[in-house]
């Protein structure tokens, strides 16, 4: 998802007998749906896992601005441009809400940024794919934000208070993102033959990377089991992926577009669509840094960080100077 | 390591005359910039008519461990609530 393959440390979920008093009390609280707040006692691994997960989620929001930002100056109308600009600005906001939530766990913003820029922290694989045509703005809103919503809606109930509150804010804003994307797809699917082709091409390229967003199957993963016990993960990757496919297929049908999967078929028995898995080798390559845009994305973030240094330092120096003058005057 | 901009807590008063409410935090070099940033980060959809910012280090908070001594005393005082009192229907609205 926006946070993929987050590892919680430890080899197995502890039984109640193996837990310390603090741990047992903590787990009881989580089980009773009482939120954990920054200054409450929490297991070290809970803190570490959450920093990784929230940090990765925040990085995804920030890096996720790049593929869409790519089209702001080339939007086909002024209205589309204003919409896209507002959408990308929202993603900046999402990143900021999440960084603040991570900071309540004792990391600094600079530390998180530094880890992203040095490649020690990841962001979602999806943002390493290019956005080649305007139809990609439709497909990204519809599919990528659609997939993000699948994951973020349940996370509103996550056990960590600041994370949960950030998710509530984010979810309020996401629905606009998906709808504006679908609206672009509708326009193009109902347009000229060339526009329909462009829409189909965008769907073809974005479909499997969108399915990858949920991460590989984790039904047997110890990390997932621990995260689920802590309620920092609410559903398995497979559950969310299935739900996404079930919701998306009729939306594609309405557009008159074809999902690029010969095995896609409604299964009367399960009530779900059967579908093909994405190429997981490709996914791991992208995570390793070998996707089509990994280098571009990180370079863009590094350049923004470096180019902004004089602003950050200058404004701070100015603020300190004024504060000192104010103290002197008093 | 360079110094970070300080952390500010942001409070917003919405449309309907309610109190300022904590909405989140952000980094800014000074109070004026914090208000401008808060406008961009927390009021993109008409959420507010007024913004307060306060540097996080100036906030004092009760300790989680004091929850009992601080808040338990009010749990047993049911007579502080109007529903504690039975008023006959005949009396009319009260
Ligand atoms: Fe977002
Ligand atoms: Fe979004």
Q: Which two tokens stand for residue A210?
A: 């969108």
CA distance B45 to B12: 13
- B4 in contact with chain A, both atoms CB, cutoff 8 A: yes
Higher pLDDT among residues B68 and A8, named by residue? B68
Across the range A20-29, mean pLDDT stands at 95
Measured over the CA atoms of residue A220, residue A225, residue A227 and residue A233, the dihedral's sign is: positive
Strand spans (E) along chain B: 7-13, 21-27, 50-55
CA distance A115 to A54: 13
Centroid of ligand 1 to alpha carbon of B24 (angstroms): 17
CA distance A16 to A24: 6
Across the range A285-312, mean pLDDT stands at 96
- ipTM entry: 0.89
What is the SS3 assignment for B54?
strand
Ligand lying closest to the C-alpha of residue A152 = 1
Nearest-by-Cβ selection for B29 from A90, A97, A319: A319
Q: What is the pLDDT of residue B2?
A: 65
The pTM is what? 0.93
Say yes or no for a CB contact (<8 Å) between B30 and A169: no
Centroid of ligand 2 to alpha carbon of A17 (angstroms): 42
Q: In terms of Cα–Cα distance, which of A83, A101, A80, A99 is closest to A37?
A: A101
Measured over the CA atoms of residue A118, residue A123, residue A125 and residue A128, the dihedral's sign is: negative
Say yes or no for a CB contact (<8 Å) between A316 and B27: no
- DSSP letter string, A41-57: ---HHHHHHHHHHHHHH
For chain A, the farthest-separated pair of C-alpha atoms sits apart, in whole angstroms, at 79
Q: What is the pLDDT of residue A12?
A: 77
- DSSP letter string, A94-159: HHHHHHHHHHTTT--HHHHHHHHHTTSS---GGGGS---STHHHHHIIIIIIHHHHHHHHHHTT-S
Q: What are A's interface residues with B at a Cβ cutoff of 8 A?
A: 37, 39-41, 86, 89-90, 93, 96-97, 100, 103, 108-110, 165-166, 169, 173, 309, 312-313, 315-316, 318-319, 322-323
- B51 in contact with chain A, both atoms CB, cutoff 8 A: no
CA distance A224 to A12: 10
Q: What is the pLDDT of residue B44?
A: 93
A88-100: b or e for each residue (b if 16 or more CB lie within 10 Å)?
A: bebbebbbbbbbb
Centroid of ligand 1 to alpha carbon of A64 (angstroms): 8
Angle at A213 between CA A127 and CA A45, to 5 degrees: 100
Centroid of ligand 2 to alpha carbon of B41 (angstroms): 15
Cβ neighbours of residue B58 closer than 8 Å, sequence gap 6 or more: none
pLDDT tens sequence across A163-210: 999 999 999 999 999 999 999 999 999 999 999 999 999 999 999 999
Angle at A285 between CA A281 and CA A286, to 5 degrees: 120
Across the range B59-82, mean pLDDT stands at 90
Answer for the pair B41, A93: CB distance below 8 angstroms, yes or no: yes
CA distance A49 to A7: 7
Q: What is the pLDDT of residue B1?
A: 45
Chain B interface, best mutation among A54, A109, A166, by max B CB count within 10 A: A109
Answer for the pair A58, A6: CB distance below 8 angstroms, yes or no: no
* pLDDT tier at A9, thresholds 50, 70, 90: low
- B26 in contact with chain A, both atoms CB, cutoff 8 A: yes
Cβ neighbours of residue A76 closer than 8 Å, sequence gap 6 or more: A134
What residues are paired with A103 via a beta bridge?
Answer: none
Say yes or no for a CB contact (<8 Å) between B4 and A110: yes
Nearest-by-Cβ selection for B26 from A40, A100, A165: A100
Chain B interface, best mutation among A100, A318, A323, by max B CB count within 10 A: A100
Taking CA atoms, A311 is separated from A155, A179, A321, B58, in Å, by 35, 36, 15, 25
Say yes or no for a CB contact (<8 Å) between B44 and A89: yes
Q: How far is B60 from chain A (nearest CA, A)?
A: 13
Across the range A26-49, mean pLDDT stands at 95
Nearest-by-Cβ selection for A100 from B4, B25, B30: B25
Q: What is the mean pLDDT of chain A?
A: 95
What is the SS3 assignment for A171?
helix
To the nearest whole percent, how much of chain A has pLDDT over 90?
A: 91
pLDDT tens sequence across A38-79: 999 999 999 999 999 999 999 999 999 999 999 999 999 999
Angle at A13 between CA A9 and CA A15, to 5 degrees: 140
Give A-chain residues touching B45 at CB under 8 angstroms.
Answer: 173
Answer for the pair A215, A233: CB distance below 8 angstroms, yes or no: no
């Amino acid at each position: 998802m926006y946070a993929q393959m987050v590892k919680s440390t430890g080899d197995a979920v502890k039984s109640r007998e193996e837990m310390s008093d603090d741990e047992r009390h903590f787990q009881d609280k989580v089980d009773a749906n009482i939120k954990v707040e920054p200054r409450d006692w929490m297991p070290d691994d809970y803190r570490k896992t959450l920093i990784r997960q929230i940090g990765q989620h925040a990085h995804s929001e920030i890096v996720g601005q790049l593929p869409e930002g790519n089209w702001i100056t080339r939007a086909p109308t002024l209205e589309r441009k204003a919409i896209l600009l507002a959408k990308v600005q929202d993603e900046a906001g999402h990143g900021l809400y999440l960084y603040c939530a991570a900071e309540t766990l004792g990391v600094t913003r600079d530390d998180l940024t530094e880890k992203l820029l040095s490649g020690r922290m990841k962001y979602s694989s999806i943002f390493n794919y290019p956005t080649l045509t305007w139809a990609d703005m439709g497909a990204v809103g519809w599919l990528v934000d659609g997939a993000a919503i699948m994951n973020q809606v349940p996370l509103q109930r996550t056990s960590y208070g600041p994370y949960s509150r950030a998710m509530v804010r984010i979810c309020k804003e996401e629905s606009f993102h998906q709808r504006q994307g679908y609206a672009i797809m509708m326009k193009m699917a109902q347009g000229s033959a060339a526009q329909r082709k462009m829409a189909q091409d965008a769907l073809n390229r974005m479909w499997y990377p969108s399915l990858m967003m949920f991460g590989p199957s984790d039904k047997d993963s110890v990390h997932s089991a621990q995260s689920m016990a802590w309620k920092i993960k609410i559903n398995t990757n497979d559950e969310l992926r299935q739900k996404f496919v079930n919701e998306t297929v009729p939306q594609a049908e309405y557009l008159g577009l074809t999902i690029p999967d010969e095995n896609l078929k409604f299964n009367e028995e399960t009530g779900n669509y059967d579908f093909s898995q994405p190429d997981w080798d490709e996914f791991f390559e992208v995570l390793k840094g070998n996707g089509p845009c990994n280098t571009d994305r990180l370079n863009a973030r590094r350049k923004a960080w470096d180019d902004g240094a004089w602003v950050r330092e200058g404004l701070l120096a100015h603020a300190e100077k004024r504060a000192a003058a104010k103290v002197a005057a008093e | 390591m360079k110094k970070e901009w300080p952390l500010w807590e942001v409070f917003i008063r919405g449309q309907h005359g309610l109190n300022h409410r904590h909405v989140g935090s952000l980094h800014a070099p000074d109070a004026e910039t914090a208000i401008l940033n808060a406008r961009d980060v927390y009021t993109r959809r008409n959420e507010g008519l007024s913004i307060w910012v306060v540097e996080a280090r100036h906030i004092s908070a009760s300790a989680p461990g004091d929850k009992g001594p601080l808040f338990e005393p009010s749990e047993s005082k049911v007579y502080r609530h109007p529903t504690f009192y039975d008023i006959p229907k005949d009396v009319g609205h009260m």
